[in-house]
Structure 1
């Protein structure tokens, strides 16, 4: 029975969210699917060993540019997690060689920008003055570069790894953006770069796309391509297995009936967890995160799109007490359902984390996911009102804030000569980066979480249900 009551005539700020678009689509995971996943896992092992030997040989014999190009392909194909230590060792050695030569390497714009991006992605602060040779005396990039769209895309991607105090990269970004916008009507490469920056992209979505590009590359490495395809299909099945478990659990809760005001987005929440932890070995983290995301979603809709001020005050007080007995004072059934759901999720989370030797994790998560609040105007609307500005002016200001925030995040990834005690481990920073990426991908155009049919439906389908032909 739903939580609505016939006599309830209270005004509520209902948002009338779009319904779930998936239904029973991902619920089934068969024994045949499981068997296929195991077969893929066995096929991957000899391919990994072949490539591991190649990486070892490349350490000593191949020129630096080819090494970096191979590493870039491994990473963009989504299989770098198999070779993390080998890749880090190679990059450390290559960076030292570049530094020993004062980074004075005779490469064209395409390769210089690619190498800059790769080093920055791994925390090596390759100096931005490697781009000086591509500029005129006035600091502007040479107009003759405009005709090489592939190189301009490479420059555009590299410019997104800039930090504060790098005006040449700000100029590179402006120059590349102008060229790509002019080229977009006749260049698919330019259109895709403008639509989705590699540094901001969701890894599995970008890997799926890059596999099709790499397949057409005349310089492709066949063993690497085969590994990427089989590994994508194996991990895709793992994601589907996880998602089927999430959906069965969610259907038992029956919030579609009991909390009809709330968004039903369990598929989107699991997709979000993939964006944060795409590597297959992080299955447990994904399964925990998807539940946390669903808690946030239910709370967000309860506070913003259903509860009255008086009801939400009671609910907030109950969360602060963290006591099931607090439910006795709730006047509405939906409040009991929401409180019980959040309470059970976090207590289960605490139990699991304690068993894993991390009892502090659940308390940290509970103290922080999301501050209780009433229905409020958006940040843009508040800024417009406070400063008497138009929406267009405020959006420009907010875009600049986002740009600066990315510079700060990029700076955090650069290896410090003397890391302080307060520096976060790179593994943690990587998840922060992935969170920024998923927010960019889901919210830069519209609210892609709420209106997933308009923005990420295709990405979800390709991630979960479209294996790559072998």
Structure 2
């Protein structure tokens, strides 16, 4: 490595140990770098390895610092808090409900099915559908009366022929609302050779039809070849058509859907994007379109003000908890809040959003302690102390472990108190047991790392379903929602349910495929890639990635089924758990968007939670 790079890293290391805030935690290090009795080795991958005064070797992941300064967050103006905005929104909601209801009376039989579906699609993509649940149910019940699993539907209830655009749009929306619809309705749009029919004209109408076919193809269950074929065809068609599309807004809509699809899209991002597209694409001189757009903008900004207030609460907690002083770890509480807030916007679910951010932060601090900073001997004692849930058991351990455990223990207790308000029972022991299993899985991975053991892929994934952290960061927040869940029902979305297994597994697989190189640079050589290569020594890294990405696709299809099938689990609970899975897929879309959050993740947070929509 060149001298300038070494100098920069030494300067960074020096600045860490000159930070006055660390004096309490690491008093022996509050001296100049030249005075510190430690050895520093900087490897070619920019990872710091230190040996402290006791001769203990520690690794520091060289993560970038917190991007969201508390002073900045506390200064956010929350411009749409004033009561007048809520009053205007309520007036618009009432007027739009009237227009929804009038559709049954005034729509033409030539296109009434499409009009019903289009209205539902618009309010959902604009992020305001929670205000119109009764109207949406009535509209979809109406459409479903005319749905035919063999023939689909036409534009209107009296249409003699099925229409691809209406059938594809109807299939997607009806399936997402758990109506029983079959993908076989799309088969009639194929020719005798099994190819989807299309013209060479690439008109706006055909482009919209193919776009809706693509969107429908993403809501796929296992063994639905018709939807796999639809996805392959529509993806190719739209990508080839894009350079020739003169309609700028249609082009934007197609690009957004191709880029974010379904599993890497979250409602908040879609709403922010579709507001711009809708404003340019629809005829806003139409009174309904105009009111819909005004409500969408107003609602977005009001929710954003609420989110900014919650960010301020979260940031104060982070500072006061002492976690901000753990310089070796990733400080990503804001990113985790975005993960939850990207899908959950109901004002009454503040505890869910803030609680999820806290639980995720705890999982990350523990991850960095187990994966990098703690020694195996320390971790053994730390694990047993956590499982006793007693700070006094931390005696003799380093101060950073005490700080992490104290905040963690208090956070789990706080969430249990929130859950008790809804559940009517004490769930603290239940949550603690989930965390204990999680800690054991971390300890297993730390042992593998310390001993150089590479498990089989099956062994690794079985442990990873727990160590991925999906269960522990979602369990208590879901219990804080306003729906009581009995002990029997909670098992259908919690461990060891198929739904929970798939959530955890897809999280781990997606994470590993994006982080295995960086983690290997930090000396963490156990990942699904290395385990697959151990099982298949003749394979290559590229072959391993192909296999694992295919496995992710298959598991996401299974997850779709587990999510949308009819069962006893309250829909709200399942919706929020599934939405968190989509948020994870989004944040790992390009890279590990938590460890490296200064690019795509920062832009997403700025776009959805910091900058209001121009009115």
Q: Is residue 394–residue 402 contact of structure 2 (8 Å, CA) maintained in 1?
A: yes
Q: Is residue 198–residue 206 contact of structure 1 (8 Å, CA) maintained in 2?
A: no
Aligned to 1:397: 547
Deviations 1:396-438 (A, max 9, x none): 111122211221122234454xx4xxx4222222112202201
Q: Distance in 2 between matches of 1:149 and 1:99?
A: 24
RMSD between superposed Cα atoms in Å: 2.4
SS at match of 2:581: helix
Query: TM-score, structure 2 length as denominator?
Result: 0.70
Aligned to 2:270: 206
- Counterpart check, 1:231 vs 2:311: no
Q: CA deviation at 1:265?
A: 1.0
Alignment of 1:52-451 (within 5 A): 52-62=97-107, 63-99=112-148, 103-105=152-154, 106-142=161-197, 144=199, 147=202, 148-183=206-241, 188-198=252-262, 200-219=264-283, 221-257=289-325, 259-328=326-395, 330-368=396-434, 370-371=438-439, 372-373=442-443, 374=446, 375=449, 376=524, 377-388=526-537, 389-414=539-564, 416=566, 419=567, 423-451=568-596
Q: Distance in 2 between matches of 1:35 and 1:237?
A: 6
Deviations 1:115-151 (A, max 9, x none): 2111111112322122223211121223537834333
Q: Structure 1 362/52 Cα, relative in aligned 2: closer, same or farther at 3 Å?
A: farther
Q: Structure 1 94/142 Cα, relative in aligned 2: closer, same or farther at 3 Å?
A: closer
- Which structure has more RCO (C-alpha within 8 Å, separation ≥ 6)? 1
Q: Distance in 2 between matches of 1:169 and 1:100?
A: 14
SS at match of 1:453: coil
SS at match of 1:201: coil
Deviations 1:185-227 (A, max 9, x none): 5654443332111454111111000000000123451111111
Deviations 1:87-128 (A, max 9, x none): 123212321232499634335433322221111111123221
Structure 2 residues without counterparts, runs of 5 or longer = 1-20, 30-52, 155-160, 245-250, 450-523
Q: CA deviation at 1:240?
A: 0.4
Aligned to 1:50: 95
Alignment of 1:12-23 (within 5 A): 12-23=58-69
Q: Single out whichever of 52-61 and 224-233 deviates more from structure 2.
A: 52-61
Q: Distance in 2 between matches of 1:101 and 1:379?
A: 42
Q: Is residue 26–residue 243 contact of structure 1 (8 Å, CA) maintained in 2?
A: no
Q: Is residue 123–residue 413 contact of structure 1 (8 Å, CA) maintained in 2?
A: no
Q: Is residue 413–residue 426 contact of structure 1 (8 Å, CA) maintained in 2?
A: no
Query: What number of residue pairs does the alignment pair up?
Result: 462
Q: Distance in 2 between matches of 1:379 and 1:100?
A: 40
SS at match of 1:447: coil
Query: TM-score, structure 1 length as denominator?
Result: 0.91
Structure 1 residues without counterparts, runs of 5 or longer = none
SS at match of 1:436: helix
Q: Is residue 37–residue 237 contact of structure 1 (8 Å, CA) maintained in 2?
A: no
